[in-house]
Amino acid sequence: MAEFELHRYPRSRRATFDVGRIGRAKHHIVALVEVDVTEARARVRAAIRGGRKLGFNAWLLKVIADTIAQDAQVQAINQRRRQQVVFRDVDIAVPIERVVDGVKVPLATVVRGADGKTVEAIDAELREARRQPLAGADAYVLERRNKGWQAAAFVRLPQWLRLLVWRALLGSPFLRKQTMGTVMVTNTGLSGSVSGWLVPKSIHNLCFGIGSMTKRPWVVAGEVAVRDILKLTILFDHDAVDGAPAARFTASLVRNLERPLGP
């Protein structure tokens, strides 16, 4: 007889099922880029040695937010009557891995107005989200406000009914922003010898997948050197953003990451 273990997944996984279902219908342009973050990592380490409380992930979110703020069109959301809503604030949804009923699952937190915050403030929010008590097995969003009963009610609905709720939410740019932010940044935490891109499914118009970071030979100032290279995936909603503006934004982001002004 075959041996096996039977595990129950938490209800929070049902939100992931919905994201996959809805994400398949998004018309995303996918950009796969490589970024030399050697200088950025060195600056982050120097800042930490100087007593500042921050981390590389928080710095990465800050650079992404500041670059979006300079070209907010990339996070535009279409609505009826051929109109687009372009929010000035950059609200970044970030999955935080937590243990729910003995199973590790990604639960989302939203860093509101990330473009107006310091790297230290963003890092503090991420740390707080990792420490935040869960509302229970039905939790799927980490927020300061206690909305555990709403999450519990939502994930107990059958999927066809949940998808109707999602459709109503996604039909309003303002509800989208309030509920799930304007941007998604998801991080697999890959490092070491594993090298590859993360290509996520997303219901966000603008989504960043942080892939592996490995040491590789790289040409710098005409010479080959070993550098820290980050694999970065960017998803743009082609219904809201054309390819040329998406390409210009990608070039600006890579430039900002490779030539950091801070921390």
What's the pLDDT tens digit per position in 10-43?
666 677 778 778 878 888 999 999 999 999 999 9
Residue pair 28/235 in contact (Cβ under 8 Å)? The answer is: yes
Could you tell me how far CA 96 lies from the centroid of its own chain? 10
- With a threshold of 0.75, does the pTM exceed it? yes
Residue holding tokens 């273990």? 5
Residue pair 84/240 in contact (Cβ under 8 Å)? The answer is: yes
Residues paired with residue 134 on neighbouring β-strands, in sequence order: none
C-alpha 145/C-alpha 164 separation (Å) is 24
Average pLDDT of the residues in 233-251: 95
DSSP assigned state of 52:
-
* Summary mean pLDDT of the chain: 85
Nearest CA among 209, 213, 207, 216 for reference residue 190: 213
pLDDT of amino acid 132: 74
The HSE-up count of residue 183 (CA atoms within 13 Å, CB side) is: 29
Does the CA dihedral 140-144-148-150 come out positive or negative? negative
pLDDT of amino acid 144: 47
Domain ranges of the chain: 27-258
Question: What CATH topology corresponds to 27-258?
Answer: Chloramphenicol Acetyltransferase (3.30.559)
Average pLDDT of the residues in 153-178: 84
Backbone angles phi, psi at 194, to 5 degrees: -80, 130
* 190, pLDDT greater than 60: no
